[in-house]
A = this chain, B = another copy of it.
Amino acid sequence: MILPMLGALEAVLFAAGSEGLTDEELADILQLPVHECRSLCRALQAAYDERGSGLQVMELGQTWQLVTRPEHAVYLRRMAATPMSTHLSPAALEVLAIVAYRQPISRLEIDHVRGVQSDRAIQTLVHRRLIAEVGRQDAPGRPILYGTTQTFLQTFGLRSLEDLPPLPEESGEETALSLFQKPPAWPRD
């Protein structure tokens, strides 16, 4: 009985990330009494320790979390130092462009423009300090608003945001105008 639930607990803690989950949240998700969740967590903890995993189950504050072990910090340091790639993925570049031209902008608005979820790309850009939280939207949940950073300006050789090339009017908005409006010539490469 406990074994299949151990796998479920593992999956749930994994996906929860650095926020962790409280006993009560776990009880709710796994549909188990709180005390059973606690013993399940301890069982998983023991199992991880036993097999010398690179991860461990920790009770931090009031939450259970899956975290890396300190002995692997050296690899994480190397990973942090050598960025996963020196260039940006097309998705990240797209998000960066949206933030640059439409800041301040929320994650939801970015998702809406792109038609796909952008969490990952946003996280990458925040991590690379190309965008940062610049405020909160006055809306339910007070969503984070993103804007570009000083690093962004430096990376792209801009004095200020004014230096961003103007864009053609967006499609969908006042389509009639586009008939008479010549899009600026885009230099290639």
Contacts and interface: CB of A to CB of B under 8 A. Distances in A.
A25 B17 CA distance: 22
B53 A12 contact: no
A24 to B, nearest CB: 10
A11 B28 CA distance: 28
Contact of A29 (B10, B69, B82): B82
B6 A54 contact: yes
A30 B78 CA distance: 8
Contact of A18 (B9, B75, B82, B120): B120
Q: Is the interface of A mostly helix, strand, loop or mixed?
A: helix
Contacts of A127: 115
Interface string A42-81: 0000000001111100000000001011011001101110
Interface residues of A, number: 48
A124 B28 CA distance: 19
Interface in A99-144: 115-116, 120, 124, 127-129
A47 to B, nearest CB: 8
A75 B6 contact: no
A8 interface: yes
B19 A52 contact: no
A15 B66 CA distance: 10
Contacts of A54: 6-12, 14
Given A52-B3, A120-B19, A128-B116, A75 B8 contact: yes
